[in-house]
């Protein structure tokens, strides 16, 4: 079930900092947009602005978008509260991710993510074969 969480807790960030420094990190984003924001636009519109404005920072951090897709239907799980969009971003390391989110210029636009989302799941993943 999707719950109302948009930003990581301090504890979650502390755990992420323990990720191996020399290992690529893939972030799985699972998003559900607000129907209407407090800025009189849809969550989807607000997120599109955030995504566009965040893209240069993602590139600057050395990360890359691997895959992005619209969720059509929940097959297993709560289909009454399904997410709208999911995507994968690969960072060269956890330090590259933290460089992105700590960038003062990025932080100026990061609020649009919160404006847009009802739920903003972010799962740190390590590739295994």
pLDDT band at residue 2 using 50, 70 and 90 as cut-offs: low
Cβ atoms 102, 17 nearer than 8 A: no
pLDDT band at residue 4 using 50, 70 and 90 as cut-offs: low
Map out the domains of the chain as residue ranges: 10-125
Of the chain, the percentage scoring pLDDT greater than 70 comes to 97
Is the domain covering 10-125 a CATH 3.40.50.720 domain? no
- Residue 115 predicted with pLDDT over 70: yes
Residue with tokens 């100026």: 108
Cβ atoms 56, 84 nearer than 8 A: no
- From the list 120, 114, 116, the residue with the least C-alpha distance to 5 is 120
Q: Which position has the higher pLDDT, 21 or 77?
A: 21
pLDDT digits 0-9 by tens, 6-51: 888 899 999 999 999 989 999 999 999 999 988 889 999 999 999 9
């Amino acid at each position: 079930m999707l719950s109302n969480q948009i930003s990581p807790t301090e504890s979650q960030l502390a755990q992420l900092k323990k990720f191996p420094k020399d290992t690529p990190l893939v972030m799985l984003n699972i998003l559900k947009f607000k129907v209407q924001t407090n800025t009189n636009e849809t969550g989807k519109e607000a997120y599109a602005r955030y995504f566009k404005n965040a893209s240069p920072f993602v590139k600057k951090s050395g990360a890359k978008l691997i895959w992005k897709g619209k969720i059509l239907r929940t097959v297993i799980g709560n289909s009454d509260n399904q997410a709208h969009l999911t995507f994968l971003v690969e960072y060269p390391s956890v330090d590259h991710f933290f460089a992105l989110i700590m960038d003062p210029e990025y932080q100026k636009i990061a609020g649009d993510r919160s404006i847009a989302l009802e739920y903003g799941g972010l799962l740190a993943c390590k590739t295994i074969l």
